[in-house]
């Protein structure tokens, strides 16, 4: 009984813990590009070049990218380091010990991060799409960066060269519930240094990256959905046959 009470108390605290880490920033809807091979391939390139330096995806093998239209030669020439093989897991050389010494905590594995970040606020892709587009320059932070979706995040803005440097603007407004108090409210971003991409190009590339991470979390998702449709059609046929058989049976009995 004590164990059950502790479990219930822990589950009750989970939403509060999530809000303690993340600021309740509204999530943007991520474009659905999970069936576009071109988007998935571009997302895979971005993931390997920008995410796989610190984060691993230890549940995924490079050769699984055949499912998004890449050949072994393309994977080897464009997505692998010199010592890696096409059949290897997507791991990084960074050890947990070194990561804790350098960053204070080991970067999480990203194999299923797209599914893990799904919540009442939006889907996992929605979270990642908004998060990667919500960094701003903050000199009070150790990394020099902050994030509206995840305030005081430890991860720096690894894509800043693409997006450029932005600062966040805040205004003081009266609290709707208590006019004697003021609220520090976000009022948009200000671009202080352009990146190598325009805002539209950056958003499109982030959409591709998020699409790849969503696919990586469940590579068989498209096949699962296709199989689900076939099963439902088959069950519908069985229901129809059973209905007509039942009607025929009771007709003879009457």
Residue 253 pLDDT exceeds 90: no
Residue 4 pLDDT exceeds 50: no
Confirm if 117 and 127 have CB atoms less than 8 A apart: yes
**Highest CATH level, class, for 25-219:** mainly alpha
C-alpha 141/C-alpha 10 separation (Å) is: 30
What's the pLDDT band for 98 if we cut at 50, 70, 90? Answer: confident
- Predicted pLDDT of residue 95: 80
Query: Which residues have C-beta within 8 Å of that of residue 222, sequence separation ≥ 6?
Result: 34, 35
Residue 169 pLDDT exceeds 90: yes
Average pLDDT, the chain: 87
At 15-51, the pLDDT tens digits run 433 433 455 789 999 999 999 999 999 999 999 999 9
DSSP state of 25: P
Domains of the chain, residue spans: 25-219, 227-254
C-alpha 189/C-alpha 187 separation (Å) is: 7
pTM value surpassing 0.85: no
Range with top average pLDDT, 92-101, 180-189, 218-227: 218-227
User: H or E segment at 185?
Assistant: strand 182-194
At 113-145, the pLDDT tens digits run 999 999 999 999 999 999 999 999 999 999 999
CA dihedral sign of residues 210, 125, 39, 201: negative
Residue 186 pLDDT exceeds 60: yes
């Amino acid at each position: 009984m004590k164990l059950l009470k502790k479990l219930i108390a822990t589950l009750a605290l989970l939403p509060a813990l999530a809000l303690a880490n993340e600021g309740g920033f509204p999530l943007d809807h991520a474009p659905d590009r999970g069936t576009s091979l071109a988007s998935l391939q571009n997302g895979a390139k971005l993931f390997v070049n920008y995410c796989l330096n610190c984060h691993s995806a230890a549940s995924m093998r490079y050769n699984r990218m055949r499912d998004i239209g890449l050949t072994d030669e393309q994977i080897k020439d464009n997505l692998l380091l010199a010592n890696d093989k096409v059949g290897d897991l997507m791991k990084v050389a960074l050890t947990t010990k070194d990561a804790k010494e350098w960053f204070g905590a080991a970067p999480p594995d990203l194999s299923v991060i797209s599914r893990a970040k799904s919540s009442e606020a939006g889907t996992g892709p929605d979270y990642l799409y908004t998060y990667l587009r919500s960094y701003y320059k903050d000199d009070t932070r150790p990394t020099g960066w902050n994030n509206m979706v995840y305030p005081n995040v430890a991860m720096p803005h690894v894509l800043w060269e693409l997006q450029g440097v932005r600062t966040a603007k805040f205004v003081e407004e009266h609290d709707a519930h208590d006019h004697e108090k003021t609220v520090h409210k976000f009022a948009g971003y200000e671009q202080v240094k352009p990146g190598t991409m325009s805002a539209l190009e950056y958003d499109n590339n982030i959409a591709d990256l998020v699409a790849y991470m969503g696919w990586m979390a469940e590579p068989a998702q498209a096949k699962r959905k296709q199989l689900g449709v076939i099963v439902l059609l088959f069950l519908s046929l069985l229901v129809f046959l059973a209905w007509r058989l039942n009607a025929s049976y009771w007709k003879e009995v009457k």
